[in-house]
Chains A and B, each alone.
Chain A
Amino acid sequence: MGKPSFEQLLEQNKGRIYRICKVYATQPLLPEDLFQEVVIQLWRAYARFEGRSAVETWVYRVTLNVCLRINKQKSSNKTVQLEAITFEPVSEPADVNAQDSLNALNTCIKSLDEMDRTIVVLSLEDLPYKEIAAITGLTENYIAVKMKRIRKKLLNCINKKVGKE
């Protein structure tokens, strides 16, 4: 496992970082604010990253730590603005149904407690239970049992929200 350049690391992981920031951003914080904080923290920690674990695992760990920490501080004043990062809405508006589903999914994930939210986010990122266990410090068995319940809860919530039941 080699160590990618910082540029490669950002390019390869910006999508997954932003997805997670969207779930953890709560007013007055925007996902963009969290994203920038994550980039700063990745930069600070990059020198110490020795490439012993998978890059993605390390990125998830840093991202989740930043999102949880900043949300606990509940302050938008201290977030740093990096002008080199810009966010543009996609030119074509997404399909209305897809947008509704996405909003419903985010709302339902946000309604979960902190640990369940972390587990489900990592699971949706397609991480095996072993890696989720390494990031969260929980056991694989515990995660498997939790995921059964969370999946059910999330499906119920989304089906209610999008009115398909």
Chain B
Amino acid sequence: MKTYQTDWQDIKDIWSSSAQTKHINIEVNTLIDSLKEKVSPWEEELVKKDLAVLNLHWKKYKSAVSTFEKQSIEKDLSLFSSKIKKVLAWFKK
């Protein structure tokens, strides 16, 4: 027997009332305090992890680059000093 058909508006009404099955009480000040407590350690943990990754990469990067840089600086310095020596020798003449 067809008595009544739920239509879309009924569904929307049911949906709107669905939050009214419970009262949600929020103690905002307490909540914010506990959020600060709970979120901070989590974020600190993330920052620590990021720092550890950065440190690890920095050590690798630092050692790899400094060797290369040392070599190129040594080459540059020896080039400069030889040129300067040539210039000084020219002045002495």
Contact = CB atoms under 8 A, between A and B. Distances in A.
A39 B31 contact: yes
A136 B15 CA distance: 20
B11 A90 contact: no
A89 B19 CA distance: 11
Contacts, number: 108
Contact of B27 (A84, A87, A90, A162): A84
B39 A43 contact: yes
Nearest to B20: A90
Q: Which applies to chain B's interface (DSSP): helix, strand, loop or mixed? A: helix
Interface in B14-59: 14-15, 17-28, 30-32, 34-35, 38-39, 43
Interface of B: 2-8, 10-12, 14-15, 17-28, 30-32, 34-35, 38-39, 43
Interface of A: 6-7, 10-11, 14-16, 18-19, 22, 35, 39-40, 43-44, 80, 82-90, 94, 98, 101-102, 105-106, 124-126, 151, 154-155, 158-159, 162, 164-165
Given A35-B24, A82-B35, A155-B6, 13 more contacts: A39-B31, A40-B38, A40-B39, A44-B43, A85-B25, A87-B22, A88-B23, A90-B20, A105-B11, A105-B18, A158-B11, A162-B6, A164-B3
